Amino acid sequence: MMSILTAKEQAAVDAEREAAVKVKIEIDDGGTPHWRHDAPAEAKLTERKAEIHRDLAAVSKIIEAAEAGTAGLGLAWDDLWAQFGDELNPYRKKYPQLFDMADKLVGRLKSYGKHAAGVVISTDRPLTGWLR
């Protein structure tokens, strides 16, 4: 799975995650062990995840607004960048791997397959008389 972070950002997140999982074992007066996480590191990691989520939501809103008048047909990738590049460029600079991957996926099929157009079931009489 490809990360949407640069290698430097991913290394920082990994370091934060490693710090977050470090625990301290404290034993209370009764001899019971208590596990304590490094709360500041956990908070920083959670903050970063929230920032990424906000940024991706902002990109989604820009694209949805751009495609609003297309009656569900979408907007060509080049047209999107021509019209909304100024709004999207800060995110491209912040998450270059994500946008590089998007550039590669543009124009590819989302999915394909075969399926029945419909199925009609009758429990009270044969349907052969209805077919022509």
Residue 75: inside a domain: yes
Domain that holds residue 79: 39-105
Residue 30 lies in a domain: no
- Is 86 inside a domain boundary? yes
In a domain, 77, yes or no: yes
Q: Give how far Cα 103 sits from Cα of 77, 80, 99, 107, Å.
A: 8, 12, 6, 9
Confidence of residue 84 (pLDDT cuts 50, 70, 90): very high
7 located within any domain:
no
The pTM of this model reads 0.55
Tell me the pLDDT band of 93, cut-offs 50, 70 and 90: very high
* pLDDT, average across residues 64-76: 85
Please give the angle made by the CA atoms of 37, 39 and 43, to the nearest 5 degrees. 130
In a domain, residue 34? The reply is no
- The answer to whether residue 60 sits within a structural domain is yes
What is the pLDDT, as a whole number, of residue 91? 94
Structural domain count, the chain: 1
* 94-107 average pLDDT score: 88
Q: Which of 48, 40, 46 is nearest to 24 (CA)?
A: 40
Instruction: Kindly tell me if the per-residue pLDDT of 3 is higher than 70.
Output: no
Q: Is residue 131 part of a domain?
A: no
